[in-house]
Chains A and B, each alone.
Chain A
């Protein structure tokens, strides 16, 4: 086991309290052998980026169900870039209409996982991207 374990920050930006999905994903990533830190609710983009830097993560996964993704996801990407951590893989999920996905990808969110995504797909995507 010389391979470095993938480190992931699972984050809940904004004021939305729905964390079932975030916690289920966090558990699945942990069960797949990754090191996972979950931020808890109501995190500002600044707090998320600070946690990502402090925990030295490879991936930031964000979940929003309130519709604030268009504002908050890009802010996290931009702040990561400003802090010299633009290489961190940023992914998102939640109630995100298809129409919004191109703009999020344009802003630097690598992938958006919508409702009904099997856990294994998320695990595989992260492994493929980082190896």
Chain B
């Protein structure tokens, strides 16, 4: 990108300047003996064209909307439409979550994002013994289509897009969503949204797995195939680095492990007989926006470039849509403090800005009280307003990839790509992401432990925790989900079950079993079953019976 004589001139100048720098540092030592990013990249004092000697503008950056998409997936990014402002919400009963959804839509939110409680995420009905104490706690409890109908009451499913954080039982919840939309009068082709459906990261770090890897990968491929034909604008998976980062990974590990998981899903789908371009365009990703601002911006850019190369070169995808990495971002929950919680508003704002400068397609901003409880209405509103300030007031959306071309950002983007590719090569050598689960767990745990030690020994400053502490009053107005939600949910489920024709329920469950034992696609069978109000727990019970359950290896 730079001519050799220019570079020589800069090198000569920099050499002289280095002597000046040394004198300055001698007189007044720098704040750190060595500066480094969260991923451990040592940071120079200043970056110049000398750091980008090898860069080829066209091959490494290109124009937005063109290979390798470093600068963005559309030609004009936010000049057309801002990202989707999508706050993750869900708690208690379907009625309460429906009210929160409608409140968020009234406040100007542009898409829904549904949190399910843990029994739902693990495929247990609310009356299962393991659901005790957990019903409605971290999300809404959905046992059957009856709950789903209440959840989306007066929300036209053909007109909003809905992201559902559901993984192991994603197919069943998608079946309920389709059934619910059809009851509202919409067709499968009219609905938009995303299911997380990323089971590998559940094994690695999030924990809501049900089945062993092989049947899980089959279910995922079934969903890819079904949606490619029937639900063409549905994002069939959200391959998630968010939780990998929350569990402790560095920025480089986050993109490497996520893209390695992505490679495993593409591999599995191709092995099941699908053509790569028939499903790859519907793959989506989910990343974390953490505190190390500039490294985060570079991370999003590096992820886009790596995926474009992987899809084109490794998998031979021909449709440009298959090359593009589209992603949702959530600010880092782990960066929130219980101490001086209002300071979290600033942390979240900077994290959100890094996601926007990194070109995210949708964004969730955390609420300031989330190190204490689920967010209250007021804190959620401020979080949403934070996105609106970035989108409408500060001008950063009027130009594409404004940090592109910064010597530092480009050097960091290159460094992250290189480091991530080293990890991906290591995972390939282990036999792919599914075989490398324990390797990734160990790497993540080591990074998490180092991070905590850095806070404890004050190498890393956390305001309110290890510096600038002060005496505080307890926070008031925290959201509470009481145990009566669980009791009411169990009661509702009992009534619903009593009103069904048991012979029909059994016939539908038999169909699920037969499909599971054969190699037919399970999605149509799920849809048939949920329409008759067969519950999530009943369907997952059959799958557990047929395929067995995953047993986690304990790594620490």
Which A residues fall within an 8 A CB radius of B? 14-20, 23-24, 26-28, 38-42, 44, 66-68, 70-72, 95, 97-99, 114-116, 118-120
Which 8 pairs show the lowest CB-CB distances between chains A and B?
A17-B207, A71-B133, A15-B118, A68-B133, A67-B137, A116-B465, A115-B338, A23-B556
Q: Which of A18, A38, A44, A114 contacts B130 (CB 8 A)?
A: A44
Chain B residue nearest to A17 (CB atoms) is B207
7 A–B contacts, CB within 8 A, in A order: A20-B205, A23-B556, A39-B554, A42-B130, A44-B130, A95-B372, A118-B455
B133 and A116: CB pair below 8 A? no
Chain A residue nearest to B119 (CB atoms) is A15
Interface size on B, residues (CB 8 A): 46
Assess A14 versus B134: contact at CB under 8 Å? Given A116-B465, A119-B452. Answer: yes
B207 and A41: CB pair below 8 A? yes
Assess A95 versus B445: contact at CB under 8 Å? Given A44-B130, A71-B483, A116-B339. Answer: no
Q: Is B122 an interface residue (CB 8 A)?
A: yes
Assess A18 versus B207: contact at CB under 8 Å? Given A66-B134, A95-B373. Answer: yes
Q: Which of B137, B247, B371, B556 contacts A115 (CB 8 A)?
A: B371
B556 and A26: CB pair below 8 A? yes
A71 and B474: CB pair below 8 A? no
Q: Is B456 an interface residue (CB 8 A)?
A: yes
Assess A20 versus B246: contact at CB under 8 Å? Given A27-B449, A66-B137, A120-B456. Answer: yes
Q: Which residues in B have their C-beta under 8 angstroms from that of A40?
A: 552, 554
Chain A binding surface, main DSSP class: loop
Q: For chain B residues 328-361, which have a beta carbon within 8 Å of chain A? A: 334, 337-339
Q: Which residues in B have their C-beta under 8 angstroms from that of A28?
A: 449, 452
Q: Which residues in B have their C-beta under 8 angstroms from that of A41?
A: 207, 552
User: Once bound together, how far apart are the Cα atoms of A26 and B483, in whole Å?
Assistant: 30
A27 and B445: CB pair below 8 A? yes
Q: For chain B residues 442-497, which have a beta carbon within 8 Å of chain A? A: 445, 448-449, 452-453, 455-456, 462, 464-466, 474, 478, 480-481, 483
Q: Is B138 an interface residue (CB 8 A)?
A: yes
Task: Output the least CB separation between A8 and chain B (Å).
Answer: 13
Chain A residue nearest to B374 (CB atoms) is A67
Q: Which residues in B have their C-beta under 8 angstroms from that of A39?
A: 554
Chain A residue nearest to B476 (CB atoms) is A99
Task: Output the least CB separation between B451 and chain A (Å).
Answer: 9
User: Once bound together, how far apart are the Cα atoms of A129 and B481, in whole Å?
Assistant: 33
Q: Mark B415-458, 1 if CB is under 8 A from A, else 0.
A: 00000000000000000000000000000010011001101100
B207 and A42: CB pair below 8 A? yes
Q: Is B318 an interface residue (CB 8 A)?
A: no
Assess A116 versus B337: contact at CB under 8 Å? Given A14-B133, A20-B448, A70-B133. Answer: yes
